[in-house]
Amino acid sequence: MRGTILTDRQTDFVTWLRAFAVISILLCHYVQESENAYMQMSAQLFNIGVNIFFIISGFCFGLQGDIKDTIGWYKKRLKRIYIPYVLFLLFLIIIYAILELKINVWSWVVYFLGIQGVKVGIFGASHTWFITAILLCYCVTPFIAKWEWKKEWGFLGLLPIVLAFVPNPSVYTLLDPVCFYVLAYFMGRKYTGNDTTLRKAVISFGIMGVSFGARFGVKIIADGTIWYERIAVPYTQYIAAFAIFVICSFVFKNLKAGKLCKGFCKISFEIYLCHYMFVVGPVSLMHLTSNFVLNIVITTVVVCAVAVVLNLVSGVVQKKLGNCN
């Protein structure tokens, strides 16, 4: 149970961090469409935005403390996830129909249920493996909420090594995030205020640099192996993500998140859902003109506009469902 009441000032850095994560994910997919090989390689670094999202989610739920109404908690989370998610898929299937693209009914059923895992079955929605992973995180949350942190929980930091050797790629891809989500959850449970010092931030920056350096080092000697793809990549990504978490907690320690930042973060989930279809999906805008930067600007404006509409419609649906209950 949380005994400390936290102010917005003590947690505002999370809002800034969320905005950073969204921008990072957008850049990850933008640079992949560049003709510059070095820019394409940078996508591996920008992809850290997804790892940060899992950490933020776990940390924020940890801040909330005990979950007294488990069923009510599940209902609230499922509404927040499934309503915009289903609306996004309905929008995408309309695009498919307009463009007369082939529709595999079974693949769409699996995607609508959110159990697709890492299987890439729908052009423009392959990034939604995130949905399956975050639902797994939500499944365990009410159970870990009943526990206090114990040293034994530390084994979760080593479990991804074991998962890496399971042949099915869905296992480590979906369960690795759960492990680090739980660790971040207990960070939130133990959080009593932002006491990050310059020294901690500098050390974290060093750890982040070492993590990225180690990743490229392992890539040189073990690219294409389990040691790189399933162990080095996730570990260096999550270690760097936790480091960025600490760095942001210092940098934005006394900087209040403004309306623009909060508004951007409010539609962060919707941006994640719809951005991919406009970057590499059936209605890609990244090659609309010959100017790469202009394409990025156009794509970002369209993505944000669609995300706003998706968020507003989702809010209306959630209110109506709430009234029905």
Three-state secondary-structure class, residue 122: coil
What does each of the 325 residues of the chain score in pLDDT, given as a tens digit?
Answer: 444 445 556 678 999 999 999 999 999 999 999 888 888 888 888 899 999 999 999 999 998 878 888 999 999 999 999 999 999 999 999 999 999 888 888 888 888 888 888 776 788 888 899 999 999 999 999 999 988 887 777 888 899 999 999 998 889 999 999 999 999 999 999 888 888 999 999 999 999 999 999 998 999 999 889 999 999 999 999 999 999 999 999 999 888 888 999 999 999 999 999 999 999 889 999 999 999 999 999 999 999 999 999 999 999 988 877 666 5
Assign residue 119 a region: left if phi > 0, alpha if psi is -120 to 50, beta otherwise?
A: beta
Round to whole Å and give the CA distance between 37 and 246.
Answer: 31
3-state SS class at 201: helix
Closest residue by Cα to residue 127 from 111, 107, 109, 143: 111
The closest alpha carbon to 18, from 321, 271, 299, belongs to 271
**Which residues lie below 8 Å from residue 226, measured CB to CB, with a gap of 6+?**
164, 165
Q: What is the pTM of this model?
A: 0.92
Q: What are phi and psi of 2, to 5 degrees?
A: -85, 130
Count of residues for the chain? 325
Output the six-digit token pair for 237.
């990504």
Please identify which residue in the block is written with the tokens 């296992």. 171
Give the pair of three-digit tokens for residue 47: 């992809």
CB-based contacts of 295: which residues, under 8 Å, 6+ apart?
33, 285, 286, 287, 288, 289
